Amino acid sequence: MALPGESAAEAAAVLASSLESVLGSRANANRAFEILERLQAEDEEVILCAVRTCSRLFGALLERGELFVGQLPDEEASLQEGYSAEDKYKVWMRHRYNSCINCLVELMSHESFQVQELVLSTLMKFVDLEAKHPLMKAEWKGKICFPRELLKLVVASLIPVEADSSLLISQFQQYLEYDDVRFFAMKAVADNIGHVMQRMKEAPPPVYQQNVFSLISSISVPSRESEIANFLVKQAGNYEEWKVSKLKEHRLAFERMWLGFLKHKLPSSLYRKVLVILHDSILPHMNEPTLLIDFLTAAYDIGGAISLLALNGLFILIHQHNLEYPDFYKKLYSLIDPSIFHVKYRARFFSLADLFLSSSHLPAYLVAAFIKRLSRLALTAPPQALLMVIPFLCNLLRRHPACKVLVHRPSGPADLLEDPYVMDAEEPSESRALESSLWELQTLQNHYYPDVAKAAAAINQSLSLLEDDITELLDLSASELFDKELKKKTPTVPLEFEQVRGLFGQKNDIFAEHFLLE
Amino acid sequence: TIEQLCYSIALKQQKRVRTQTLLKEYKERDKSNVFKDKRFGEYDTKISPEEKMMKRFAMERQQNYGKKSIYNLNEDEELTHYGQSLADIEKLNDIVDSDSDDTEEKGILSAELTAAHFGGGGGLLRRKAPMGQQDEEEEKPKSRKELIEELITKSKQEKRERQMQRENAMELTEKLDSEWKDIQALLAHKTPKSERTGKEETPKPDEYDKMVRELGFEMKAQPSDRMKTEEEFAKEEQERLQKLEADRLRRMHGIDEQEKKKPKHMSADDLADGFILDKDDRCLLTIPMKRVEENQEEDGENGGNEREEESEPGSEDAEEATAEEIDAIDSHSDLESDTGSDEEASENEEEKKKHKRNKKKLQEEVEQNAKIEAARSELPYTFAAPESYEKLKSLLSGRTMEQQLVVLERIQKCNHPSLEVGNKAKLEKLFGFLLEYIGELATVEPPEVKTIDKLVLPLYHLCQMFPDAASNSVKLVFQDAAHDMEEMIEVKGRAAFPVLDMLIYLKITKILFPASDYWHPVVTPALVYMSQLLTKCPIATLQDVVKGLFVCCLFLDYVSLSQRFAPELINFLLGILHIATPKKGVLGYTLVHPFRPLGKNSEQLLVQDKEDMETWQKQNLPLHIMTRLTESSKMEMNHIKLSCIALCFDLIKRCAALYGLLPSFHEIMQPIRGVLTEHLPVSRYPKHLQLENKEKHYYPLVCEKKKPVPLKLYTPKIVKVLEFGRKQGANKEEQERQRLIHKHKREFKGAVREIRKDNQFLARMQLSETMDRDADRKRRVKQLFNSLATQEGEWKAMKRKKFKR
């Protein structure tokens, strides 16, 4: 029997001997309790050893077919009913198997990652064996049985409500290669979300959502039906008729899973993560991408970086799925604020904005408002952003010749008291941008960085017909800029000729007035 | 028609050309030798026949001119042997003989032999005939061989005789010499000593000779330029500065950049020729005087500041004082020269004070000079250039500031590039070490800023000597710092402000290099780096605020001359104002990175304590704050905060003045104005600050002028049409290629056509030749037949006659 003070070596010896005796003869079946007891031990080593023994024991039993197949009768009932001794043994053993699995599922939340990892692989081994030697009676001939219930337990334990389990999930990913495992896992996740949300009543814990996200973001549906051929289940049966081999079913499960996940309120960091992968790895795999409209429009209305990110998915819906989005450009216009030149998603936003503003059917006032707003905000931008936005504006001017009045107004009013452009107007049509001129770019001609000044000076001449290519400039970083400057070669280095008199000793030195040399 | 006419003319022309060239060749096809007419201008078609004849005649006359007889054709031609005229050789015969060299001898022998061979002994023998005419008569029957042998023996004998004669002469002269010596000893009155020592050849030079010789070698006084007067020096200096300033302006406007024509920079070239040393020395000589002046000026300024502080408690004076301060900022000269009419008395007092302080300063100066002198005398005079940073450190550490300066100066002098070849590299390295040393001085606790202040001077001189090396080492420093920052951003997601040494380096960069250039290899990266500092480093502590403001000062300093626009600067100052204001509700402006509208650092600079505001006085921020904040009491912290705010206001004021002319000035300043008018609780800040606050932003509203409309360029686009009716290639190279292909094709076709025509012509010629030949033959056959017929007829007639008879 398992004693509290038992050492790991002793436990290992006991476990080995009981495994041998249980497998050796049915008379010693009771020794299985010794193994199961040790699953609840305190010592990590003992647990590990017990898990391994369980895996070997029930693995062997499953392979031998010594577990009861079919609807499992109650343990007490089976003893009284008229079962043969053989059946009684099998029922009893099956009950031990079930309690073992329950123990293992509980161990999935053990604090040691080593235990978790081993338990996960053991459970998946059982899934594998059960798929080969099903414990359910086939209802009709050719029906393929998959241990759905067991997988459901595994998935549920993979996404705990309290603890972060991203490491375990990354271990689980190898099993997602199998199309059937993936399919049933998706279904299990969808069910699990439903249950948990119901239980939690509108306040899902962020950790849980994080776990779910890390699990489901790693799931990707194959793009063609012919690719679905990698099954864990190896049974004689009609695979073609099987639900799992239908791409449509996969997509449906995928869609249900994601919609179930996105239905609930997400923390903003998760929001961003979802939006970053949305257009690339979620939208294309859905049966009905339009179902995401609500989610995307809600995200677009949030503002800030989340709106910027929602733009991409929204664009796909508008472009490929006939989404009618009223005030799209107004919204886009309001998205442009000073932070746009400083955020991480700058390149993404500008490549999309470039796309949105490339249509020649846009009214001139709209484009002019965009140009004017961007140029106004360029007054606060760092040089690497300026190097990108100035050619961007020039391209807009080229595409929409009606906007060229912004840089070339030969017969305008000679003297203006102020800029007619209204920065605060929500509506681009009320901004009076077409009456204005791009004084901002003229200002930037005095920028301290020579390349920016040069780029801004482009508006002094009439613009060339060919558009500038801005794709390379989109994600220019400050350090790249710096390195570029350092690499430039010059034959001579001009020097300061003013005689030096000390650290703060130059003519009209600002420092001398505010700092002390101490 | 005209066309036909043209065509026929062209045909004729072609035919003529062919007859002149091709036909000729054809006719000469079997001939191996060529007849070449060497007469003047025979093949020159440009000269008309008359001219040709005239020229030929003239040449003929020229040739014949000066000839003694018109019948001697070859008179002017000279016969030579081995490139020497034969006549000369004959003339020099005897002189060569005197030199008894074997080769020469042989040469002469052979010459005689040849003469004997070719001339049959004629010339030579005939010349010698008077000597032995009779012998010749007698020995005539001698054979030719004997004759030659005799000739040889004779010449040998002659030679021997000559040698003998010479030896005799030599002996005689030697004998004469020795005899003369004997006599000389008797004759001379005081030379036996020299004779005894045997140095009669080199008599000892006497004093006078020596002196003469020395005087001869001594450098003579050269006429020199007259000494330049003070004014001339000043004028020259001014001209030099003007030239440099013009240079700087040109670079500021980026004209070099556009024209790609780099003019030589005065200080960048002619450094290695060692001339600079003298110049530098001269500069050094002039500096102390200047420095005194400067100090006086600074002194005056400082005086102004201090005075203001003194007068502050008397609050009624405060306004005037600030007004004065502004004056002082505007022009330093005002304080010295301008004596305001209403404040004369106080001015005078000020003057007196100033004088006193000047005296003090001068005294200090004297003391310092004494110290330097002491340091000079204490230290050894030569130093080897340090080869590693550690060596330099061991040289400098432990010495006083003055000693360090002297050491550096001596290292420079001892290792001047003009003295030895490797010195240039050594001093170039010294710059890098010195830079590193300064960095280390800035990082120690507390930072030795005063020493750095002095070390900037040698650094500047080294930089002037080696601009390339200096720029490279400064660039390296920036590169390291930028990479560190990038790594930090990658790892942590944000960067921190660098420690003091980087800030000092940035300041030194401004001192060493002209910051106003349109593009500069060192300054532009420094600007980019500072931009990164201002946009990437979030403000967490008061130290960060001070550092940030220092970088702002640097930025403003960099762009102040060129008046360039720096968005980051405005953003940062706005952020500083933001963290100095209490938060309430909606912001009337948007903040950009690294500032956040809300958060734990969003009220970093806010001062709430009224008492602290009352006691605060404007003070300059010491640099050591940046390494360690020692003031722990809340009041002192608040005072520092207020000083920061004052600095920020001053910077805003300067920015406003700097960017006042930009067309978007209002848009740039709008957020700052928003904060100042709405958010800043003007009433709650100390009086002094309020004043500054009020005074700013009362700039006349500059109306936005209409942007000068760019003229449309109506210059037509010119495309070079190379071949009409040809498709133009996309780009230049393609065009060129197409053109060449086309040309080749055309030429090829033309050549084929020409060849075909040539063949046709030749065939025609051959045909006409055969035709001619046939016709000739026919004609001759006919002739023969004719003659035969006539013969026959005659013969028959004769026959008939006979019969008749």
Lowest mean pLDDT among A43-52, A134-143, A217-226, B452-461: A134-143
Q: What is the mean pLDDT of residues A331-344?
A: 83
Residue A178 to residues A59, A171, A232, A495, Cα–Cα distance (Å): 21, 14, 6, 69
Looking at the predicted structure, is the pLDDT value of residue B713 above 80?
Answer: no
**Confidence bin at B777 (pLDDT 50/70/90):** very high
* Token couple for A506: 């130059």
C-beta atoms of A493 and B470 within 8 A: yes
3-state SS, residue B32: coil
B250 shares contact with chain A (CB less than 8 Å): no
> What is the enclosing helix (H) or strand (E) of A516?
strand A515-516
C-beta atoms of A448 and B463 within 8 A: no
Cα of B540 to nearest chain A Cα, Å: 19
Instruction: Name every chain B residue with its beta carbon within 8 A of the beta carbon of A415.
Output: 703, 705-706
Residues 459-518, chain B: which have Cβ within 8 Å of A? 460, 463-464, 467-468, 470-471, 475, 478-479, 482-483, 485-486, 504, 507-508, 510-514, 517-518
* Token couple for B172: 């005689």
**Beta carbons within 8 Å of B18's beta carbon, 6+ residues apart:** B757, B758, B761
Instruction: Name every chain B residue with its beta carbon within 8 A of the beta carbon of A491.
Output: 262
What percent helix, strand, coil does chain B show, rounded to 5?
A: 70, 0, 30
Lowest mean pLDDT among A114-128, B219-233, B654-668, B776-790: B219-233
* Token couple for A387: 């190097």
**Confidence bin at B632 (pLDDT 50/70/90):** low
> What is the pLDDT at residue A23?
75
Residue B209 to residues B205, B213, B586, Cα–Cα distance (Å): 6, 6, 104
Looking at the predicted structure, is the pLDDT value of residue B271 above 50?
Answer: no
Query: What value does the mean pLDDT of chain A take?
Result: 79
Pairing relationship of beta strands B80-81 and B621-622 according to DSSP bridges: unpaired
- The residue among A256, A257, A255, A324 whose CA lies nearest residue A284 is A255
Is-contact B466 B428, C-beta < 8 A? yes
> What is the pLDDT at residue B163?
94
**Beta carbons within 8 Å of B530's beta carbon, 6+ residues apart:** B506, B551, B554, B555, B558, B568
Pairing relationship of beta strands B84-85 and B621-622 according to DSSP bridges: unpaired
Residue B490 to residues B75, B485, B496, B596, Cα–Cα distance (Å): 101, 9, 12, 21
Is-contact A421 A372, C-beta < 8 A? yes
Give the Cα separation of B726 and B746 in Å (integer).
13
- The residue among A115, A98, A201 whose CA lies nearest residue A153 is A98
Strand partners, B622: A516
Query: At what angle are helices B318-330 and B687-695 packed, to 10 degrees?
Result: 50
Per-position DSSP letters for B475-502, written without gaps between them: HHHHHHHHHHHHHHHHHHSS-----HHH
Q: What is the mean pLDDT of residues B135-162?
A: 80
Closest Cβ–Cβ partner in A439, A462, A479 for B663? A439
C-beta atoms of A342 and B593 within 8 A: yes
C-beta atoms of A497 and B514 within 8 A: yes
**Beta carbons within 8 Å of A503's beta carbon, 6+ residues apart:** A511, A517, B449, B452, B453, B456, B504, B507, B508, B511
Instruction: Name every chain A residue with its beta carbon within 8 A of the beta carbon of B239.
Output: none
C-beta atoms of A494 and B251 within 8 A: yes
C-beta atoms of A446 and B565 within 8 A: yes
C-beta atoms of B710 and A408 within 8 A: yes
Neighbour-count burial of B725, counting CB atoms closer than 10 A to its CB (0-12 exposed, 13-18 middle, 19+ buried): exposed
B257 shares contact with chain A (CB less than 8 Å): yes
The residue among B664, B673, B703, B713 with the most chain A CBs within 10 A of its CB, best to mutate, is: B664
* Token couple for B57: 């005649």
* Dihedral pair phi/psi, residue B647, rounded to 5°: -60, -45
C-beta atoms of A514 and B517 within 8 A: no
For residue B18, the one-letter residue type is R
Report pLDDT digits (tens) over A295-333. 888 888 777 778 888 888 888 888 888 777 777 888 888
Give domain limits for chain A: 1-107, 326-488
> What is the pLDDT at residue B759?
92
* Token couple for B180: 């003369």
DSSP code of B677? Answer: I
The residue among A372, A424, A503, A513 with the most chain B CBs within 10 A of its CB, best to mutate, is: A503
Lowest mean pLDDT among B261-275, B494-508, B511-525, B651-665: B261-275
Strand partners, B705: A415
Looking at the predicted structure, is the pLDDT value of residue B438 above 60?
Answer: yes
Instruction: Name every chain A residue with its beta carbon within 8 A of the beta carbon of B621.
Output: 514-516
Three-state SS sequence of B357-383 = HHHHHHHHHHHHHHHHHHHHHHCCCCC
* Token couple for B469: 């090396």
> What is the pLDDT at residue B167?
94
> What is the pLDDT at residue B287?
35
Instruction: Name every chain B residue with its beta carbon within 8 A of the beta carbon of A482.
Output: 478, 482, 525, 528-529, 532
Give the Cα separation of B645 and B626 in Å (integer).
16
Strand partners, A447: B565
Q: How far is CA A423 from the centre of its chain?
A: 36
Cα of A369 to nearest chain B Cα, Å: 16
Asked if the peptide bond before residue B594 counts as cis, ω within 30 degrees of 0, the response is yes
Looking at the predicted structure, is the pLDDT value of residue B353 above 60?
Answer: no
Residues 395-414, chain B: which have Cβ within 8 Å of A? none
Three-state SS sequence of B721-746 = CCCCCCCCCCCHHHHHHHHHHHHHHH
Lowest mean pLDDT among A52-56, A238-242, B107-111, B568-572: B107-111
Residue B103 to residues B107, B108, B110, B200, B737, Cα–Cα distance (Å): 6, 9, 11, 40, 70
Cα of B476 to nearest chain A Cα, Å: 9
* Token couple for A518: 């101490």
**Beta carbons within 8 Å of B465's beta carbon, 6+ residues apart:** B271, B276, B417, B427
For residue B213, the one-letter residue type is R
Give the Cα separation of A15 and A20 in Å (integer).
9
Nearest CA in chain A to B293: A501
Closest Cβ–Cβ partner in A460, A482, A494 for B710? A460
Neighbour-count burial of A280, counting CB atoms closer than 10 A to its CB (0-12 exposed, 13-18 middle, 19+ buried): exposed
Cα of A479 to nearest chain B Cα, Å: 7
Instruction: Name every chain B residue with its beta carbon within 8 A of the beta carbon of A372.
Output: none
Give the Cα separation of B44 and B52 in Å (integer).
9
Three-state SS sequence of B154-222 = HHHHHHHHHHHHHHHHHHHHHHHHHHHHHHHHHHCCCCHHHHHHCCCCCCCCCHHHHHHHHHHHCCCCC
Q: What is the mean pLDDT of residues B782-796?
A: 91
Asked if the peptide bond before residue B446 counts as cis, ω within 30 degrees of 0, the response is yes
Instruction: Name every chain A residue with its beta carbon within 8 A of the beta carbon of B245.
Output: 497
**Confidence bin at B724 (pLDDT 50/70/90):** low
Is-contact A338 A307, C-beta < 8 A? no
Residue found under tokens 């290669």:
A177
Determine the Cα angle at B386 with ends B396 and B394, to 5°: 30
Give the Cα separation of B311 and B316 in Å (integer).
9
Give the Cα separation of B624 and B449 in Å (integer).
8
Q: Could you report how far apart the first and last alpha carbons of chain B are, in Å? A: 76
C-beta atoms of B703 and A408 within 8 A: no
pTM of the model: 0.60
Per-position DSSP letters for B43-110, written without gaps between them: S-TTS-HHHHHHHHHHHHHHHHTT-S-TT-TTTT---EETTEEHHHHHHTHHHHHHS--HHHHHHHHH
B294 shares contact with chain A (CB less than 8 Å): yes
Higher pLDDT, B268 or B171: B171
Is-contact A377 A337, C-beta < 8 A? yes
* Token couple for B505: 């380096």
Q: What is the mean pLDDT of residues B676-694?
A: 51
Q: Could you report how far apart the first and last alpha carbons of chain A are, in Å? A: 78
Closest Cβ–Cβ partner in A417, A447, A510 for B564? A447
Residue found under tokens 């993404």:
A348
Highest mean pLDDT among A47-51, B288-292, B352-356: A47-51
Higher pLDDT, A157 or B509: B509
Closest Cβ–Cβ partner in B267, B620, B705 for A514? B620
C-beta atoms of A494 and B703 within 8 A: no
| Chain A / chain B CB contacts < 8 angstroms | 258
Lowest mean pLDDT among A486-495, B52-61, B477-486, B729-738: B729-738
Closest Cβ–Cβ partner in B283, B453, B528 for A383? B528
**Beta carbons within 8 Å of A286's beta carbon, 6+ residues apart:** A251, A254, A255, A258, A292
Cα of B5 to nearest chain A Cα, Å: 53
C-beta atoms of B704 and A439 within 8 A: yes
- The residue among A253, A255, A246 whose CA lies nearest residue A224 is A246
Strand partners, A516: B622
Give the Cα separation of A512 and B234 in Å (integer).
27
Instruction: Name every chain A residue with its beta carbon within 8 A of the beta carbon of B560.
Output: 508, 510
